[in-house]
């Protein structure tokens, strides 16, 4: 019996122990990592999700690795996301590699205004295949979609690369919040689904879900 129902049943039965605090239903803990070149917006992406705020102004590169927790509710279940924000700079790679193994999901970001951050995605995927779990959930994100005037990478190119690697894709903005929550929710849904599908639960396809829910930047690219 679920803890909530058990509490209700105990209260109804008038059991003397009914006044005791019943522990909340345990959260499903999940580890997510943010990866991508330095400056693509990983820290801002995390802050936007966690606090709904955008860190503008001087760019301060992450040193090593840091994490934040956020609980989301997915189809009635509390999912505790532990989100690791990694330093994109090359010199911290050996530190961050050590954390790949424990991650159940990876959000891999590039910056749509920075071509080299997109060109480096293949190298990131090679590292991921080397260090992460085989069944890790990967999502490709083209961040800074709000800066359409400086766009260097077409949305179609992001889509093509994602299709080649069989991963879901969307463009995001840590500044406006576009698709930020959706990225984490889609991952939480996928991992919750994998953790234990209920008999009456329909099957879940993360790519279909992302395609049906994602917002597209309002202005098309100049490319
Ligand atoms: N316009 C716009 N600027 C962004 C966005 N995301 C991040 N930025 C800016 O890009 C710069 C780098 O952002 P960070 O989040 O610090 O980048 P990072 O990927 O964490 O960088 P490292 O810690 O070095 O790996 C900052 O000046 C941010 O204000 C976005 O979605 N839109």
Q: Where are the alpha helices (DSSP H) in 22-114?
A: 42-51, 93-100
Q: Which two tokens stand for residue 154?
A: 């077409």
- Ligand 1 pocket residue status of 82, Cβ below 6 Å: no
- Ligand 1 pocket residue status of 62, Cβ below 6 Å: yes
pLDDT recorded at residue 204: 86
pLDDT along the chain (223 residues), means of 10: 40 42 67 97 97 88 92 90 94 91 97 98 97 97 96 98 97 98 96 78 86 81 42
- Ligand 1 pocket residue status of 190, Cβ below 6 Å: no
- Ligand 1 pocket residue status of 143, Cβ below 6 Å: yes
pLDDT recorded at residue 25: 59
Q: How far is the CA of 181 from the centre of ligand 1 (A)?
A: 17
pLDDT recorded at residue 197: 66
pLDDT recorded at residue 193: 87
CATH hierarchy code of domain 22-222:
3.40.50.300
CB 136 within 8 A of CB 104: yes
Q: Whose CA is nearest to atom 13 of ligand 1?
A: 41
Q: Which residue has the tokens 């959260």?
A: 27
pLDDT recorded at residue 203: 79
- What residue spans define the domains of the chain? 22-222
Q: Whose CA is nearest to atom 32 of ligand 1?
A: 144
Report the distance separating Cα 216 and Cα 170, nearest Å.
8
pLDDT recorded at residue 14: 40
Report the distance separating Cα 118 and Cα 40, nearest Å.
10
Vertex 138: Cα angle to 219 and 53 (nearest 5) = 50
ipTM above 0.85, yes or no: yes
CB 114 within 8 A of CB 40: yes
Report the distance separating Cα 78 and Cα 192, nearest Å.
10
pLDDT recorded at residue 76: 85
pLDDT recorded at residue 216: 86
Q: How far is the CA of 157 from the centre of ligand 1 (A)?
A: 21
Helix (H, G, I), strand (E, B) or coil at 61: coil
């Amino acid at each position: 019996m679920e803890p909530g129902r058990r509490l209700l049943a105990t209260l109804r039965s008038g059991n003397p122990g009914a006044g005791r605090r019943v522990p909340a239903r345990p959260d499903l803990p999940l580890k997510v990592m943010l990866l991508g070149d330095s400056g693509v917006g990983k820290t801002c992406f995390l802050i936007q999700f966690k606090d709904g705020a955008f860190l503008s102004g001087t760019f301060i590169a992450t040193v090593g690795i840091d994490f934040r927790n956020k609980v989301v509710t997915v189809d009635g279940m509390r999912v505790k996301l532990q989100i690791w924000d990694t330093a994109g700079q090359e010199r911290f790679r050996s530190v961050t590699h050590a954390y790949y193994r424990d991650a159940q999901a990876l959000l891999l970001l590039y910056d749509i205004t920075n071509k080299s951050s997109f060109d480096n995605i293949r190298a990131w995927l090679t590292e991921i295949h080397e260090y992460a779990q085989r069944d890790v959930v990967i999502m490709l994100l083209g961040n800074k979609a709000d800066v359409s005037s400086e766009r260097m990478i077409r949305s179609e190119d992001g889509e093509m690369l994602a299709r080649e690697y069989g991963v879901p894709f969307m463009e995001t903005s840590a500044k406006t919040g576009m698709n930020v929550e959706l990225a984490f929710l889609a991952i939480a849904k996928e991992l919750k689904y994998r953790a234990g599908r209920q008999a009456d639960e329909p099957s879940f396809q993360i790519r279909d879900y992302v395609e049906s829910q994602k917002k597209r930047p309002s202005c098309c690219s100049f490319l």
